[in-house]
Structure 1
């Protein structure tokens, strides 16, 4: 049935917390149109995205947030039937919601009252299980693998494995294509799942917390359609609704078990959490916060507190502590009652994470903020590396485990364990050969067949071994046994030797090896293998070169997908400046730009080189240094790879220097700690210098492989003569390489302009910024303000200084 919305009024009223500017209104209308039409759209805005994105979605929450009668409309039915159906639906929904909203309102009042009174009294907690007087004896039986039969119910096993991340993107896409075509059973749906939800995703929890803060400022109207005839007759027309927002996070963010939380590392926390849920774990060792069938009342209490007010991830954790129930697991049941769900990249972009949360984007809206990071984030999630030392440690642990339990390993377990040992040994042997090569390249590509060259490895069935690694819990059993043995050894040698026990804050090595073996067992056309030699030995990397297939299933399932960012445009320094000339130019520019200036360099190495040269006396300069020349006007601060000074301390010193009136110049690196996520608004960023074009190292094996992949893919996709296909492929590779550079540049540019009254001078110091090709990859709001400094008769630096002097004189 077609959706026919009568939303003219809402399109004009987005309930913005302030009077929106014309461009913001255009942004909101365009965005809502994309949501209504179910499109995939890209929105670029240098600042204020949160405050604009939220009102843009408010009509969607209002209209689709419930079965309110405005959702469906059939033009064939008479108007009086439609009105009757709306009125009847309105009353039914309103009565159901009134009780829920009243309960949430009461909880909100309670929370505000507790906050005002600053009552430190703890809420009643879930009853803790009584500790047994005597701990269970140590028994190696808990580390024995369960019987495993890979031939039993093969079809069911294959179906189950279709949802794991170990399979390649192309395999997953094929399985997804045919999924559900051979079953007639229709899954039951929760009555709350009919509403359209908005999944808002960003890179960090701090950015999601900012979104939650903006969400608190927006007043959403009731989703129950108005009924003039009912006004004054009952309270349903005055039903006050609150936006139902939920923040999702990982176990690391939400775990409230002190012993598990103390592990620190995400993988260690995840595995310890799962370990505590195993059937053989003694009652006193199980996690007391884990929800059970008897905790329905606590689950409802958690849900109501989570939805009573807009809470960020830290608030959700506190709710779990107050109620006495695990917020990570309790949050899952709250998703279906929510209207807006915020979550970080990994929880949305990784299929296994979505399945663990029982989260589906089918028919819902997905908004991805900071979307310039999207493809890199997906590639990072599905890329993994392993060192030779880790492989050797894993070999030692596996062989020790195999010797210990050789008489208790039966059937398939013995066979598959031997296969894992042979495979890990084969990979380690190849890396050992690379490490022993003298005079070889520091990095290079690795063929899949090279890693499988060990004795008997060619007989391994990759698909079956992948399934075994995920279903047998081999890594967990081996790691548990190793930890148990280490603990007993430490205790036997006395308290002075306890430090020899393995540090549980690190990722267990076998889990790390397994995460590498899974993509290795299912190599895809989008992935490549590389080695890198360093002081710490040899590193083997599996890198995903094309993340599009992993994002495709989200796009295909979602009702609409919005990609938003400050700079969504495509996304070694060329020797046009001697370093001392660069210093003189910057010193001159700092004379006319007030307050704070941030300069971005292409790399830490180049920045370090520049600083060292600037600190040396200028030839024929009577002992004057470039550093001193600049500091006559602005104090110089700079970041370094070694991080001697923390970012917070550096920013504090920079801010204090500007507030004191002396001004400051902050030297930063493109892609470094200060190039993204930090705002240099107002006086903190009256000038931004982009020094050169930060192209990646095109000679590296990784970038060679990336460009080659793009060229081969483009070549296959196009028809025509051989010459035309090669030309297009070469152009696509060049474009891909330039886009990587310009995405980084655009992020730096966007650090300064943070609100409508803000202003700054952005100076791009490199002749290549004059070329139309590079200018075409700048954000639209920058291209419209470009002023060329290069002329045939004037010196560029001198002309730039004159224009800057006039620009800031007009602003003062």
Structure 2
């Protein structure tokens, strides 16, 4: 479908569009035009990703500047889904431009061949017969034996494969150019563990081990030594092969998923991770994790070259404030300090060795440090473009403007400095009572005891990076604890406000053996994201569960040009939210600490699980506020025989903190649902299942939220943050706790609905959910479906409603409902025509009121003439009322007369009028939101 949004031609890869998608793209277009930031909440399962990509890619192609899109998501599966959606969109655009008059543009009228034989590249550059078996052609080409016989070795075979692959890629590029396809490059970036193709390193299971082994083979000094003395050190052949290519030639045009780019890199013999890193300046769309922008240590390595006019999108950003806080928070334990102390001793030995064998290295380093850090800025990433082995926890601009203090310039002095600082931290951990202090207090105490000043601490991380580089150290995973201590030193000396140091001597409240933890916790989420808002002109924060919208601009300190939440238009109520406040015995149910272990509450929760297991087919997902509460409830259910009863109807699987165990449980849960046995998955809010797993169709016919997922309110870190929010943003403790609990509850129940053809139950099992302050913080699309009759149910009443809902959903899906929850192009054009007509009426009313105002002013000036002006103004008022009476049949206008008057008054003040109109029967159920700028 090709539609126009405020004059922008947008290619949408489906023949029909949801009203929510149209409204979403309209607001997004206005935010991009204004070059401002926006917060948009779109219902789950209504195509948020494809709407984002369709609008922004069309915006890129329409405007000559071609602003880059930086798309941030949370997990690798979500990155893959976004890349797959973008690939589908670009294939549709290619088909559309090849045959825009096709009856069905989604038919494969243009299927790009997987492989084009370069030897058959005739005059027009096109090859016949390459489409259907392209993948097999590449595979057979790579597996064919050497035609010359057994005399070829593995290296020669790899060289032939790479030559053939490059010819193929060149031919595909010529093929695309002949068809005048759009030049476009989009890639996803993930960790080395997910992208490594090295036959040995890629077998490692732990990401930290993969990172360490990769760095050991790609460090600048290792590569330099390996090239000068072949065989002296182990090098990565994939990384070395990459150095022979220019950055703009490493990746061919197209949309590359993570698996596709790994396969391509294997064929060509290059490293996919560094190929993506070095190609970022040439891509149109980059999709990666939040941390690549929000964590300064990572952003300094990856995202510092991104153009300032790029469009930044944070998808699924309901917990973006927590990501910001985690990126600047550090926890230190006693084992970490012991490991750091051992690393310091190793550094000291290495410094002594270098002084004996090659003292010029240290002397050169000292000379460079005297020149200042600015001279080293260009060399931060090494000669080969490999990333810096140790990173700085704050932005480099904060440090490069100053010179490193003299007392840490010499290597031996800096090592002694680190040793003294670690000894101080170990001494502080000997206390047996909780200590909470500000960075200023910590630094003052540090100075009094050790005479360490603040300034050298600030340069600690950068100085350690340079020393490790000078000493040409390997096995850098052994220095991870020391790097964390250096990052802690830099952070505590850099930030005065928005941080707190908390020393907890015991791991838990009931523990008797000390296990101290030193928390350096960030309280101000805006510190990490501030550089993003300052650098990029358009930042989009979007999610399906981001209510209330005004909370995020407060916490993150930014101004929005558009801030909107969209209702959900439905031809049938495909999801049913309900609040169960009491059990069948009329005992109130709640997960409050005072009653959570009450046998009556536990038994009623168990009865809810059993009864819904009987009534609901296929899969049920249940969420608990915490692992601790889930374990206690499951143990009690086992003693009461509740689990044994539930097993009669469905299998039961449990999420654990261990990721591999949870993955196995999820796999078996899906298998049980597919086989018709049915299953129950017991999970935890804020866990892996609640954040990144979709339970579409038969995998999630009901979600039960056992209790309100509040954070642990006795946490000292949480108490400190609540105090900070109250003092600095005037956000009350209870408001934030409720906001945080309801966004996670909404995220949990939203797992059940992944499209308008999907259906499921959303069960809130806690009497506190019935309170107005909880319901008001639910997303608009969920709140609109909660009726007053479903907010105070017993278990029996809820079962009656659930059975009726399931029986209704079992009927055939209603046909012929186009124009209500699903629009074709004619519906979009009709909607736009109605908007234009309404806008013209408002402008006419505005003009009449301006004339009326002018007439009143003239009448005041001529008051001596008998008050004719006042009479004229009165007559114009009567005429305006008559006009309104004439339009009484138009529901739209008569419902918005008062709104128009408010718009007029705001316009006179120089403001922008935001019109929010209800979605009347002419356009279907639900509500649609849009805004008009009358200035």
TM-score under structure 1 length normalisation? 0.69
Q: Superposition pairs for residues 78-477 of structure 1, below 5 Å? A: 194-219=65-90, 221=93, 239-257=180-198, 264-265=207-208, 268-269=212-213, 271-272=215-216, 275-277=219-221, 281-283=225-227, 284=230, 285=233, 287=235, 289=237, 297=245, 299-303=247-251, 305=252, 307=253, 309-357=254-302, 358-399=304-345, 401-402=347-348, 405=351, 408=355, 412-431=410-429, 433-434=430-431, 437=432, 440=433, 449-450=441-442, 453=445, 459-473=451-465, 476=468
Q: What is the distance in 2 between the residues matched to 1:673 and 1:250?
A: 18
Structure number with greater Rg is 2
Deviation at 1:475, TM superposition (A): 6.3
The 3 A distance-change label for structure 1 pair 332 and 666 is closer
> What is the aligned partner in structure 2 of residue 549 from structure 1?
527
Deviation at 1:589, TM superposition (A): 3.1
Give SS of 2:692's match: coil
Give SS of 2:256's match: coil
* Cα displacement string for residues 705-738 of structure 1 (whole angstroms, at most 9, x for unaligned residues): 1111112213xxxxxxxxxxxxxx4x52322222
The 3 A distance-change label for structure 1 pair 62 and 636 is same
CA contact (8 A) 1:708 1:733 kept: yes
* Cα displacement string for residues 539-598 of structure 1 (whole angstroms, at most 9, x for unaligned residues): 212111112132122123223111121211258922376101221233233333222211
- More divergent stretch after superposition (567-576 vs 399-408): 399-408
State which of 661, 664, 672 in structure 2 corresponds to 1:646. Answer: 661
The 3 A distance-change label for structure 1 pair 593 and 787 is farther
Match status 1:38 vs 2:16: no
Give SS of 1:391's match: helix
The 3 A distance-change label for structure 1 pair 202 and 400 is closer
Deviation at 1:460, TM superposition (A): 2.5
Q: What is the distance in 1 between the residues matched to 2:499 and 2:459?
A: 20
Q: What is the distance in 2 between the residues matched to 1:216 and 1:269?
A: 33
Deviation at 1:424, TM superposition (A): 1.0
> What is the aligned partner in structure 1 of residue 54 from structure 2?
55
The 3 A distance-change label for structure 1 pair 538 and 237 is same
Q: What is the distance in 2 between the residues matched to 1:392 and 1:529?
A: 20
- More divergent stretch after superposition (646-655 vs 746-755): 646-655
Give SS of 2:709's match: coil
The 3 A distance-change label for structure 1 pair 541 and 478 is farther
Match status 1:765 vs 2:765: yes
The 3 A distance-change label for structure 1 pair 401 and 639 is closer
CA contact (8 A) 1:430 1:451 kept: no
Q: What is the distance in 1 between the residues matched to 2:282 and 2:470?
A: 40
CA contact (8 A) 1:28 1:52 kept: yes
State which of 455, 466, 483 in structure 2 corresponds to 1:511. Answer: 483
* Cα displacement string for residues 274-324 of structure 1 (whole angstroms, at most 9, x for unaligned residues): 644368734332745587899565655423x2x2x3102333344334333
Q: What is the distance in 1 between the residues matched to 2:521 and 2:441?
A: 17
Q: What is the distance in 1 between the residues matched to 2:714 and 2:773?
A: 22
State which of 536, 550, 564 in structure 2 corresponds to 1:558. Answer: 536
Structure 2 unaligned spans of 5+: 99-175, 356-361, 364-408, 508-512, 552-589, 811-935
CA contact (8 A) 1:789 1:800 kept: no
> What is the aligned partner in structure 1 of residue 591 from structure 2?
573
CA contact (8 A) 1:638 1:667 kept: yes
CA contact (8 A) 1:423 1:457 kept: no
> What is the aligned partner in structure 2 of residue 691 from structure 1?
706
The 3 A distance-change label for structure 1 pair 213 and 8 is closer
Equivalences, count = 617
> What is the aligned partner in structure 2 of residue 607 from structure 1?
630
State which of 598, 602, 624 in structure 1 corresponds to 2:621. Answer: 598
CA contact (8 A) 2:685 2:745 kept: yes
Q: What is the distance in 2 between the residues matched to 1:686 and 1:526?
A: 43
CA contact (8 A) 1:670 1:745 kept: yes
Deviation at 1:480, TM superposition (A): 6.9
Deviation at 1:457, TM superposition (A): 5.4
TM-score under structure 2 length normalisation? 0.60
Q: Superposition pairs for residues 655-670 of structure 1, below 5 Å? A: 655-670=670-685
Q: What is the distance in 2 between the residues matched to 1:300 and 1:689?
A: 51
* Cα displacement string for residues 399-424 of structure 1 (whole angstroms, at most 9, x for unaligned residues): 46436746948873333322221111
Q: What is the distance in 2 between the residues matched to 1:406 and 1:288?
A: 30
Give SS of 1:211's match: helix
